[in-house]
Structures are given as structure tokens and as C-alpha cells.
Amino acid sequence: MRVLVLGGTGEGRALATRLAREPGLEVTTSLAGRVADPRRPPGDVRSGGFGGVDGLAAYLTHRRVEAVVDATHPFASRMTGNAVAACGRLGVPLLVLRRPGWVAAEGDDWWRVPDAVSAASAVTRLAPEGTTVLLTLGRGGVAAFAGDDARHYVIRSVDPPDGALPPRRTLLAARGPFTPDAERAVFREHAVAVLVTKDSGGDATAAKLITARDAGLAVVMIDRPPLPEGARVTRSVAGAVAWVLGRSTGPSASDSPERDIARP
């Protein structure tokens, strides 16, 4: 059975690694190509976009893909929407693999906002002029802060961010996972007053939230975009493996009884 994993996350790599050991499966992982030096999973890997819904549908047809797992980043909403549309058009089974989001704990001072523009507005209320704000938004979203010349921004991402940048800035090229000790050092060195991040979830980058909590700092948390209506979702790699292996035994497995697979 031919399986396409839309990757780019640790969960996507773990899934491809697990499926590559299974006899009877041909697994290809697709990476968006936005990261200059991505961590490549085992098996076949393709890089670059598909060209929208039509391009993805053409690829699925040409490669005779029989199941798709969308293990892209929780904020890759366009790719997820394209996958839902293309698979729906062709009748190809699709599962969305999404790790759980972060949940505030006692002592956290989180300010949840829907997007980067709202996050920039929140920063003007939470961070006094002259203080430093740590942005951990990846390559996208930083342009929303470009008009603020009253604060210093430390911008951390794997690759240089897209678009306009704040005039007072420091760029940090770094890739997780990040340890608590390393995060404390970053916060101290740059005298961080407010943290701005996306609700990516997972353990690899959660240490910054613990550091902010211990320091009593506000966190501006950008909420995830909603999943397309009717998408079948699992929160775990194990659930995705079970779903794929179930598909290989017959079409009835598309309604897998796995407890962590559901439709929102």
C-alpha cells in the first residue's frame, strides 16, 4: 500500500520511521522545503509544494496513493486544507496527526490571541517601552511587529524570518529541542520581559514556557487555526500507525475504533 506522509514535524519523522519497518507499505514523506536543512526521515522523501489542491490531487492520482497522513505543523493550515480537499475529491482516506496543544499551569500568565497581529497589539500593553520581547514564531508572523520601534525584539527561528522586521532586533538562529538551562540563559542574557509564541505543543520547545513561568513573565500565546470541518484526527503517532496498518487490511479500517481518533 502506498502511503503519503505530509511531514515537517517530529511526529511526522517518527511515523515515517515506524511505517518504514512494516512490510507491504511504500512510504513517501513530503516536506514543504521552507527549512534550508530539514531533518529527513527514512524512506522516500520529496521536497517542495504540490501546487495547491489540484496539484496534490494530481500527485495522489499519478502515484496511486492509497492513504495520506497529514503530520504537518499545527499552523500549516493551508496544507491541511489542501489535503482535506484533495483527498475528499478523490476518496483517498486521510488522517490528521496533531500533537496536543499546550495547557496553562498554575503560575502561568498567558494571554491567548488569535493571530500575530493581535499578538503585536498585546505586546504594546504588556511590555513597557525599552524592554525586550522574545519572538519564537518561526519564519512567519514576525512582520506584524515591524512597526514597533519602542521595544527590542529577539527573534529566534531555524531560518531567517520572512518579510519586514522590527528596527530594534537581534536574530538568533537556533533549532530545538531546547533545555531549561539553555532557555534560562537566553532569558537572562537578553533581559526578556515578554515571550510571544505559537501554541505548537510538544516537549521540544516547552522549556521556554517553564522559564517564563518561573520568572513571572507574561506569555502571549497565539492559538492554533481550526482544523477543517469533518477531519479525522489523532493526537498520537501510535494512533496514526494503527490507522495506517488498519487501512492496509481493508477499507473498514477508515472508521478505526482507536480511542484517540475522532472527528471534531
In whole angstroms, what separates CA 84 from the centre of its chain?
Answer: 17
| DSSP string for residues in 29-96 | EEE-S-SSS--PPSSEEEES---HHHHHHHHHHHTT--EEEE---TT-HHHHHHHHHHHHHHT--EEE
Beta bridge partners of 170: 154
Average pLDDT over the chain, rounded to an integer? 91
For residues 39-62, give the mean pLDDT: 90
Rg from Cα positions in the chain: 20
Burial-class residue 138 by CB neighbours within 10 Å (0-12, 13-18, 19+). buried
In whole angstroms, what separates CA 50 from the centre of its chain?
Answer: 19
Q: What is the pLDDT of residue 38?
A: 63
The answer to whether residues 69 and 241 touch, using CB atoms and an 8 Å cutoff, is no
Reading the block at residue 257, the C-alpha cell is 475504533
CATH numbers and ranges of domains, the chain: 2-100+225-262 (3.40.50.720), 109-222 (3.40.50.980)
| Residue 175 pLDDT greater than 90, yes or no | no
104-163 tens-digit pLDDT: 999 999 999 999 999 999 999 999 999 999 999 988 899 999 999 999 999 999 889 989
For residues 84-111, give the mean pLDDT: 96
Q: What is the pLDDT of residue 261?
A: 62
Q: What is the pLDDT of residue 247?
A: 84
216-247 tens-digit pLDDT: 999 999 999 999 988 999 999 999 999 999 98
Q: What is the pLDDT of residue 34?
A: 62
When pLDDT is cut at 50, 70 and 90, the band that residue 257 belongs to is very low
